[in-house]
Chains A and B, each alone.
Chain A
């Protein structure tokens, strides 16, 4: 690959980076803790689910250099299976969510083995095509309810104790799941595994020559990302109490790309900020119909042409520049 790469960042001072990450995390944490006081908690819970989805996607593109254009299949399958498990099998909420994430894990293994056989643009086209296949499957399979989806999923009680029909309780539960996923991603990025992944992104032939089985690393990253996307979808099924074809549609795959691009690919906090902006925009522009699609398209074009580091990437670059 030539030229500027996606998720490319300059080498920097590690102690400053650590302080920056801690500071930014503290701000984010506080903002989410206080959020239910300012916005409708149900909307806040949905924001958290999409932020989780974008973080999962970012793990693959930002640190593995693989652009998946079919991540809706993991989000959607997680959502469907969680809704099905909670409604039809009557599983308690925590097990239903695990079922959803596990389904996406299995799907991630299957599709990952196919997709990582090609790189770059082909990888994007293959993931998109596989996701479309799954969309048609969901359209026809009886358990998904076709066009109607799975409606009025029961939330129940978390561990039999906390009633999740209380929107604030639901919010803090979604926040806990988000924190767990976010922490896991943080661990993965800073682990030796994450370092190898970065090396593969920078220069795959060199990583191979150093003796790394790069295909296995890429597959592992793909499966991790798929599982976390499934976790996000499953949590969304509980929050919104439904699962529908929207969750597996290609436009959902496009949306998660947009959130990550706008927030900053390869930055730790970018996807969260991107998800907040895009989901809020959809919420407030909802009655304008097609304008949501047009605005999304315009954001894509502007980001690619003039704003490739994204919101958080720009802020980070500014902070780093100021220190010099």
Chain B
């Protein structure tokens, strides 16, 4: 057995898992309060990567600035989208939200494709994170280690904010019964807007993480988002911790499949989804 290659695939699995976790977390947070599946999530991740690229090449702001600023820029776009469009749909069938966000994803993708073509733009790894660690059994690039650790930290922070703080308590209460929470004097519509902005910000942050690993290209979000949907179906959207565990877990399983049976690596997550649907339709962590 080639351990070097095995650990290499495991590392790629963990990286992919970080993105699955970050994106499905954002989807779960948005879904909890808005009851909308945000199809634009993949496009917003892509826009995040592009904003990082612009900040570097047009404004001279490097990776660390991008990490800080990008979520706010893309999140602000999200806030505008929520105020102008999504907020008109809450009284309708939830499927309309899906259709609207799908349309927005097409607009974003089409516009970036028109401007930049389908070839990827390079974004180099920041100097402070270049280099590799020799762990004895494998070489670990510093940047990849950073992405895994940072994603995990962001996931845990999000979990903490939602499950353990007063703000999170409001959020969970509004998910259960928005009318009652509003009667207690909490500005629920504003909370909904900010939640959408925060979810979109998470997607953009994932985009910045991804920029040095994958190339920055208009279609980087669309295939990823479909896998993330499968991850969400497998985990069920009931729990925040559930999304995190499922995201990382499926990334690792995908990595292992790439080593042991590469032909199935692109379909393994969908196969797992089918199996989960047969055994536990509400998802591993979902409630009926």
- Residue ranges of A at the interface with B (Cβ–Cβ < 8 Å): 1-6, 67, 69, 114-115, 117-118, 120-122, 124-126, 128-130, 132-133, 136-137, 139-140, 250, 254, 257, 261, 289-294, 296-301, 303-305, 308
Q: Measured between C-beta atoms, what is the minimum distance from B277 to chain A in Å? A: 5
User: Given the complex of chains A and B, what is the CA–CA distance between A188 and B105 in angstroms?
Assistant: 35
Is B277 within 8 A of A121, CB to CB?
A: no
Q: Which of B89, B99, B267, B282 contacts A300 (CB 8 A)?
A: B99
B49-57, B107-115, B154-162, B165-173: which lies at the interface: B107-115
Please judge, given known A-B contacts A120-B95, A296-B106, whether A289 and B233 are in contact too, CB under 8 Å: no
Does B233 contact A125, Cβ atoms closer than 8 Å? yes
Q: Which of A2, A136, A303 contacts B266 (CB 8 A)?
A: A136
In the complex, what residues of B have CB within 8 A of residue A121's CB? 31, 37, 94-95, 98
CA of A140 to CA of B261 in the docked complex: distance in angstroms? 14
Provide the residues of chain B in CB contact with A304, threshold 8 Å: 89, 96, 99-100, 103
Cβ-defined contact, A250 with B226, below 8 A = yes
Which of B99, B104, B229 has the most C-beta atoms of chain A within 10 angstroms of its own C-beta?
Answer: B99
Q: Contact size class for B?
A: 35 or more
Tell me if B230 counts as interface (CB < 8 A to partner A).
Answer: yes
Given A125-B37, A126-B277, A133-B270: A301 and B104 interface contact (C-beta under 8 Å): yes
Complex: chain A residue closest to B265, CB-CB: A136
* Inter-chain contacts of B99 with A (CB < 8 A): 257, 261, 300, 303-304
25 A-B residue pairings within 8 Å (CB atoms): A1-B94, A4-B92, A67-B98, A114-B278, A118-B281, A121-B94, A121-B95, A126-B273, A132-B226, A132-B230, A133-B267, A250-B222, A254-B106, A257-B102, A291-B114, A293-B107, A294-B107, A294-B114, A297-B106, A297-B110, A298-B103, A301-B85, A304-B89, A305-B89, A305-B100
Q: Give the residues in chain B near A133, CB-CB below 8 Å.
A: 267, 270-271, 274
Q: In the complex, what distance in Å separates the CA atom of A133 from the CA atom of B96? A: 25
- Assembly CA distance A299 to B232 (angstroms): 28
Interface pair A140/B263, CB less than 8 Å apart? yes
A301's contact among B107, B263, B274, B278, by CB below 8 Å, is which?
B107
Residues of B within 8 A of A (CB): 31, 37, 85, 88-89, 91-96, 98-100, 102-111, 113-114, 222-223, 226-227, 229-230, 232-233, 263, 266-267, 270-271, 273-274, 277-278, 281-282
Tell me which residues across on chain B come within 8 A of A254, comparing CB atoms: 102, 106
* Contact, CB under 8 Å: A3 / B93: yes
The reply to whether B111 and A129 form a contact with Cβ atoms under 8 Å apart is no
Residues on the A chain within 8 Å of B105, using CB: 297
Q: Is the pair A290, B37 in contact by a Cβ cutoff of 8 Å?
A: no
From A69, A250, A261, A291, name the one whose CB has the most chain B CB atoms within 10 angstroms.
A69
Bound-complex Cα distance A303 to B89 (A): 12
Query: Chain B residues near A114 (CB, 8 Å)?
Result: 274, 277-278
Instruction: Assess A308 versus B96: contact at CB under 8 Å? Given A130-B270, A250-B222, A293-B110.
Output: yes
Q: Quick check: A130 and B281 within 8 Å, CB to CB?
A: no
Q: Main SS of chain B's interface residues? A: helix
- Tell me which of A139, A289, A292, A301 contacts B103 (CB under 8 A): A301
By a CB distance below 8 angstroms, the chain B residues around A303 are 99, 103
A115 nearest CB neighbor, chain B only: B277
User: Complex formed: what's the CA distance from A182 to B117 in Å?
Assistant: 40
Partner of B95, one of A67, A126, A300: A67
Select A290's contact among B88, B93, B113, beta carbons within 8 Å.
B113
Determine the distance from Cα of A6 to Cα of B93 in the docked complex, in whole angstroms: 7
Interface pair A129/B273, CB less than 8 Å apart: yes
Interface of A is mostly: helix
Q: Are B106 and A300 in touch, CB under 8 angstroms? A: yes
Could you tell me if A6 and B226 are in contact, using CB atoms closer than 8 angstroms? no
Given contacts A297-B103, A301-B104, 15 further A-B contacts (CB under 8 A): A6-B95, A118-B277, A124-B98, A125-B232, A128-B226, A133-B270, A250-B226, A290-B114, A293-B113, A294-B111, A296-B103, A300-B104, A303-B103, A304-B99, A305-B85
Q: Which of B93, B114, B267 contacts A289, CB < 8 Å?
A: B114
Chain A residues positioned under 8 Å from B94 (CB to CB): 1, 120-121
Residues on A with C-beta less than 8 A from B281 are 117-118
A304 to B277, CA, bound (A): 30
Q: How far is the CA of A142 from the CA of B105 in the complex (A)?
A: 32
A contact residues around B88 at 8 Å (CB): 305
Closest 8 pairs between A and B when the two form their complex, measured CB to CB: A300-B103, A297-B106, A293-B110, A297-B107, A133-B270, A294-B110, A290-B114, A117-B281
Q: Complex: how many Å from CA A298 to CA B102?
A: 10
Cβ–Cβ contact A299 & B270, under 8 A: no
Bound-state CA distance A121–B186 (Å) is: 28
- Chain A residue with minimal CB distance to B278? A114
C-alpha spacing A58/B154, complex, angstroms? 42
Contact check, B103 vs A124: say whether CB atoms are below 8 A apart: no
Determine how close the nearest CB of chain A comes to the CB of B228; give it in whole angstroms: 10
- Closest chain B residue to A136, Cβ basis: B266
Which B residues touch A292, using CB under 8 A?
Answer: 110
> Chain B residue with minimal CB distance to A294?
B110
Complex: A118 Cα to B281 Cα, angstroms: 7
Bound-complex Cα distance A292 to B266 (A): 29
Q: Which of A2, A5, A117, A129 contacts B270 (CB 8 A)?
A: A129
A130, B271: Cα distance in complex, Å: 9
Q: Write out the residue numbers on chain A whose beta carbons fall within 8 Å of the beta carbon of B263.
A: 140
Chain B residues within an 8 Å CB radius of A6 = 93, 95-96
Measured between alpha carbons, how far is A139 from B266 in the docked complex, in Å? Answer: 10
**Please, how many angstroms separate the alpha-carbon atoms of A125 and B111 in the complex?**
25
